[in-house]
Structure 1
Amino acid sequence: MTPRIVEGDLLEQRVDAIVNAWNRNIIPWWLLLPQGVSGAIKKRGGVGPFRELARVGPMPLGSAVVTSAGRLPYRGIIHVTGIDMLWRSSERAIRDSVANALARAREHGFRSVAFPVIGSGSGGFDEARALEVMVSALEASDADIDVTVVRYRRR
C-alpha cells in the first residue's frame, strides 16, 4: 500500500475513519487538557467517543480501539496508543500503532482511513522521522485500504 501524504486538518478528510493518537488510557480523559487531535475531536465531535474509550480500560502501547465518531461525519475513530507512560513515542510504538489501526480498520470494514503523524505531537518524536516510520509500516502492509497521512498545518 502506498499512502497519500497531505498537509491540512485531519478532521477535514473525506474518509470512513480517522485515527486519534491517544495515550495508554490510564489517566481519565476528563482530567487531560484538550490538545492536538484529541482536543480537536472533543471540540468538534463531542465527548462521546472518549466516554466509550474510558470503558476499555488501560491499553497496551501500540494497541488500537475503535469507537463511534460522536458528532463527526465518520463511521468511527480508531484510537491508537502511540505514547508511553512518560508521554514519549518510539519507532516501535508508531509501527505497532499503524499495524493495529489497520487491523481494526479491516475488522470494521473501513475502506479509507486518515492518520495524523503518530508520536510527533505530545509524544515528542521528530515529525519527519515519525512520517518515515509510518510510511514504511504502511508500505509493508497488505491491507486493501485507502490511507491518507495528514501533516497538520494551520490555515
Structure 2
Amino acid sequence: MIRIVEGDLLEQRVDAIVNAWNRNIIPWWLLLPQGVSGAIKKRGGLQPFRELARVGAMPLGSAVVTSAGQLPYQGIIHVAGINMLWRASERSIRDSVRNALARAREHSWRSLAFPVIGAGSGGFNEERALNLLRAALEEDAAGFDITVVRYRRPDR
C-alpha cells in the first residue's frame, strides 16, 4: 500500500523513516542540516548523525540505518539521494528507494515514511521526483505499508 500525504515526515506513525541525506563526504558537524535532516537533528538529537559519520562516504543511491535518537521510530534509513554538487538524478532517486526498502527488509520493518527524495536540496522538480519515487515503490514495495510525505509548512 502506498499513500501520499501532505504534512511532516516526523509525525508519521511508522516503524522507520527515510532521511534524504547526502553522500556523507563532508563531516556532518560542518553541515547545517536542512529539511528532513534539520528536523531530525532538532527533534531527535545528534545520535543518528554521529552513527552516520562512522559509516564514511556513501555511494550515490545507497542507504544506511541508524538509531532514531529521541524520535519514536525503530530506526532511520538515510539515503544518499544527492551527488557532490547537491543534485538528485532519476537514478539516485530510484536507487535510494530500492536500497531503503532493502534495509527495511533486513530489519523486518513493514511500515515506512519517505520524503519526496531529491525535491528539496536536490533541486529536482517535486512532481517529477514524486512520480519517480512512486514508480520505484510500485516496483519493489510489495508487502510494505508506505507513506510518502510531501512537506508543507504549517502556515500554508
Task: Normalising by structure 2, report the TM-score.
Answer: 0.97
Equivalent residues of 2:101, 2:141 under 8 A apart: no
- How many percent identity over aligned positions? 81
1:109 corresponding residue in structure 2 = 108
Query: d(CA) in 2 for partners of 1:79 and 1:143?
Result: 21
Inter-partner Cα distance in structure 1 for 2:39 and 2:141: 30
Match of 1:41 in 2: 40
**What is the identity, as a one-letter code, of the residue corresponding to 1:111?**
R
Aligned residue type for 1:7 = E
Residue identity in the other structure for 1:48: Q
Aligned to 1:93: 92
Consecutive unaligned residues of structure 2, counting only runs of 5 or more, are none
How many Å separate the matches in 2 of 1:47 and 1:80?
Answer: 17
| Matched residue, 1:14 | 13
Question: Structure 2 CA distance, aligned partners of 1:90 and 1:33?
Answer: 22
Q: Per-residue displacement from partner, 1:6-57 (whole Å, max 9, x unpaired)? A: 0000000000000000000000000001210000000000000000000001
Call closer, same or farther: CA 1:31–1:142 in 2, change over 3 Å.
closer
**1:142 Cα offset (Å):** 4.8
What RMSD in Å do the two structures reach over aligned CA positions?
0.7
- What residue number does 1:66 align with? 65
Residue in 1 that maps onto 2:128: 129
**Moved beyond 4 Å, runs of 4+:** none
Q: Normalized against structure 1, the TM-score is what?
A: 0.98
The number of aligned residues is 154
Q: What 5-or-longer segments of structure 1 have no aligned partner?
A: none
| 1:154 Cα deviation after fit | 1.2
